[in-house]
Structure 1
């Protein structure tokens, strides 16, 4: 059996797969995000570790004893700054933190290689501008930094005592030479850092440490190998068989991500498309990233007093698609693709006297779907042909929402059994590869199909005017000019 651990933003999930790839044990533990200032988003790294221990120990002890390897996945980009004692110097700055927009402009202007060697626009979500912000605003902290780790790799350090990262997660720092799959000394130097302050790199399916004896004893496991693992999206792709050129997925988690596997490095940052390493050797990927997806569902549920996501979806379905004029711009934490705008914020538009909680809920489902459609268009402009999308993440539970998304994007959505398990599933499969070897094509297979939602032409026609209005509305809430060719 193999244990997969996903260090998410809202919680840690742990799953165990048996030798046939079936999920036989699960544990979860919640996390919270701190926002002490406008645009800030932080977490205590030790909270990740506490939640990891809680999630793992929630799994039946008999199942834990049979585990032969561990894989780890996690939220990308988070700047975890360690001092000489390997303890955090400050709270981790997360992927959806927008404070470093000024540092992004400076790095872009001074070091064009971020877009070529690093393969991406310098955005506040990435790790590099976060360190530049710390250097400018917290120089006493910056001067004491001996190691920079990503969230899952801080958990690995606590598990194994080793400072190791994988290629897919590390590509999201902007310090990786993505084509060569190695740290770039020049990109690090642009932020006042060196390769010596970075973890050792391994492929996601390679050995990335072993459980420390005390942790193994606490978890009731042997001192088993720990795989390199991956960033959450790459690991999620490995979990559902998106491991060959052109295969694609849609992840409906806190953020919304469209992920396309590539057989070579294909950077195209013009519309904020990401180009990173995959978590498997000789593979890369492109992504469109939307900073708020399922998080919008939780937000509007709280706003309208719904008991939870299920009640919200029911209210939206009762209201019906495009039955009201309401528009929702889902930029609660800013936006990446296609606008690269850390300062834009969400908005409801076109409210009237008949607006009620159901129509607000429907507008939110439509707004996220429209943002995802923008992202798919950007990927197509970047050369990716997407015939269908496998769907993973907690948002995959709603068939009604899937119908809206499929119509907005005009592409079939393939729902897989257990797809909501997400990156933890892929992490467990990376552990299997690290321990037993084998071909990723044989190990990282797609789970059985639960159902397929094809785009409904009538629904697409019905929502088309709102999609057009949505695209025109961006300029009304952001000082940045909207594209006229979107």
Structure 2
């Protein structure tokens, strides 16, 4: 048996699979985000350990885990987890959707080495500018910083005692030479760091260590359980849906929104603000567009209306042409294609006829427009989309998927019931690391339905997207 642990922004999930990759059991535990100042987003690493303990307790209470051979890790990317020389956490982790370091990001991005070596824009949410922010604003923390870990790799430190990462997650730090899949001494030095401050690197499908005895004994696991390198959340999700070859792609509607396409070569295009990262398996990369608020936008509207998201989306009926009401999903700035930490969202075009349903459609449409911006940026790089699979909690809304298919003019596949996300991808990586043999991960899941674009509404979505672009420019002037 094999376990996948996926550390998400809103919770941690554990998935138990057998040798045939069938899901045996799963468990989850919630996590909260602290926002002490506007634009800030933090979590306490101790909460990750508490949540991981809870999900492992749940699995162990229902299953005998003595046959587990491997564990894979996945997690939200870019988080700056700062440790002292004794591996004590120095401050809350600064998360991926934190934009406080926008000035530091601009400073690093102005250094031509960063785009040339990392293959990416230095976004405010990446790890390097956050650490620079700590150096500039919390010098007492900076002086004590001995190690910088990504969130899932802090879980690994707890599980194994080893500071290790892998290229798919490390590519989102701005310190990786993404083409060679190794740390860049030049980029580290630009931030006052060296390899001594970084975890060692292994590939995502390779062993990174074994369980510490005291951790193994908590749940009756063998001490020889192999911990795989794992992957950043989106790379692990791609392993879960079998998107590892050029042209295989998925759209993820989670807290953030992602358009992900696997590539078989390193082809950076930083000028487009498209992410070019390593994949979680060797000699493979991916291109990715990211928006910061997908289901986060729907959850915001849910709090505003006092109705849960499922209720809001469940009564919308057939897809409609976008109305006058327009939602801009920039609740905490935006990444692709704008790289804009300052812009903020808006709900405009309100009229007497605007009711809760119209507002819900506007929110779903606004996120759809933002994803279309990403799709156009990816197309500009020559990225192929031979197929597009929907994953993430938001993919339960058929209305949303119909809007996406129509706006992007791309069919969207819906997998059969089951979990095909990052937790499954992490478990598969655990299987690969423990077995030492290749397994077939390029086969997509069985498709329950395919949503085709609605040609009758295509022009209406084109017009609405054009209005969306004009509104972004106006918002930028106001922000």
1:391-410 correspondence runs (5 A) = 391-410=390-409
Q: The residue matched to 1:395 in structure 2 has which SS? A: helix
Provide, for residues 250-309 of structure 1, a one-character-per-residue CA deviation record: whole Å limited to 9, x for no partner.
111110111111111111011210111101000011100011101111111111111x22
Question: 1:190 corresponds to which residue?
Answer: 190
* Contact 2:246 2:384 (C-alpha < 8 Å) held by counterparts: no
Does the alignment pair 1:175 with 2:175? yes
Question: 1:328 corresponds to which residue?
Answer: 327
* Contact 1:387 1:412 (C-alpha < 8 Å) held by counterparts: no
Instruction: Between 393-402 and 129-138, report the one with greater CA deviation.
Output: 393-402
The runs of 4+ residues in structure 1 deviating greater than 3 Å are: 315-318, 418-421
Does the alignment pair 1:54 with 2:54? yes
Deviation at 1:431, TM superposition (A): 0.6
Question: 1:115 corresponds to which residue?
Answer: 115
Whole-angstrom distance in 2 between the partners of 1:3 and 1:474:
43
Question: 2:468 corresponds to which residue?
Answer: 470
Q: The residue matched to 1:65 in structure 2 has which SS? A: coil
Whole-angstrom distance in 1 between the partners of 2:40 and 2:204:
30
Query: 452, 460, 478: which one pairs with 2:458?
Result: 460
Q: The residue matched to 1:219 in structure 2 has which SS? A: coil
Deviation at 1:387, TM superposition (A): 2.8
Whole-angstrom distance in 2 between the partners of 1:182 and 1:254:
29
Question: 1:22 corresponds to which residue?
Answer: 22
Question: 1:89 corresponds to which residue?
Answer: 90
- The normalised TM-score by structure 2 is 0.97
Question: 2:358 corresponds to which residue?
Answer: 359
Instruction: Between 450-459 and 272-281, report the one with greater CA deviation.
Output: 450-459
Deviation at 1:421, TM superposition (A): 4.5
Q: The residue matched to 1:407 in structure 2 has which SS? A: helix
* Contact 2:322 2:460 (C-alpha < 8 Å) held by counterparts: no
1:317-396 correspondence runs (5 A) = 317=317, 321-322=320-321, 324-396=323-395
Whole-angstrom distance in 2 between the partners of 1:2 and 1:467:
44
Deviation at 1:66, TM superposition (A): 2.9
Does the alignment pair 1:139 with 2:139? yes
- Aligned CA distance change for structure 1 residues 480 and 280 (closer, same or farther; 3 Å): farther
Provide, for residues 329-366 of structure 1, a one-character-per-residue CA deviation record: whole Å limited to 9, x for no partner.
01112110010001111110101111111110010011
Q: The residue matched to 1:389 in structure 2 has which SS? A: strand
Whole-angstrom distance in 1 between the partners of 2:252 and 2:152:
19
Question: 2:228 corresponds to which residue?
Answer: 227
Whole-angstrom distance in 1 between the partners of 2:206 and 2:391:
24
Deviation at 1:389, TM superposition (A): 0.8
Provide, for residues 187-221 of structure 1, a one-character-per-residue CA deviation record: whole Å limited to 9, x for no partner.
00111111110001000000011111111111222
Deviation at 1:447, TM superposition (A): 1.8
Question: 1:449 corresponds to which residue?
Answer: 447
* Contact 1:73 1:235 (C-alpha < 8 Å) held by counterparts: yes
- The normalised TM-score by structure 1 is 0.95
Question: 1:484 corresponds to which residue?
Answer: none
Provide, for residues 139-172 of structure 1, a one-character-per-residue CA deviation record: whole Å limited to 9, x for no partner.
1111110000000000110111110001100010
Does the alignment pair 1:215 with 2:201? no
Question: 2:246 corresponds to which residue?
Answer: 245
Provide, for residues 42-77 of structure 1, a one-character-per-residue CA deviation record: whole Å limited to 9, x for no partner.
000111111111122222442533322100000000
Flag structure 1 segments of 5+ consecutive residues without an equivalent.
482-486
Q: The residue matched to 1:343 in structure 2 has which SS? A: coil
* Contact 1:331 1:345 (C-alpha < 8 Å) held by counterparts: yes
Question: 1:437 corresponds to which residue?
Answer: 436
Deviation at 1:106, TM superposition (A): 1.3
Deviation at 1:382, TM superposition (A): 0.9
* Contact 1:433 1:443 (C-alpha < 8 Å) held by counterparts: no
Whole-angstrom distance in 2 between the partners of 1:238 and 1:455:
26
Q: The residue matched to 1:218 in structure 2 has which SS? A: coil
Flag structure 2 segments of 5+ consecutive residues without an equivalent.
none
Does the alignment pair 1:75 with 2:76? yes
- Aligned CA distance change for structure 1 residues 133 and 459 (closer, same or farther; 3 Å): same
Give the CA RMSD over aligned residues: 1.5
Deviation at 1:126, TM superposition (A): 0.4
Deviation at 1:399, TM superposition (A): 1.5
Deviation at 1:445, TM superposition (A): 3.0
Whole-angstrom distance in 2 between the partners of 1:429 and 1:339:
34
* Contact 1:100 1:130 (C-alpha < 8 Å) held by counterparts: yes
- Number of equivalent positions: 477
Deviation at 1:245, TM superposition (A): 1.7
Deviation at 1:480, TM superposition (A): 9.0
Q: The residue matched to 1:478 in structure 2 has which SS? A: helix
Q: The residue matched to 2:394 in structure 1 has which SS? A: helix
Question: 1:416 corresponds to which residue?
Answer: 415
Whole-angstrom distance in 2 between the partners of 1:262 and 1:298:
33
Deviation at 1:465, TM superposition (A): 2.0
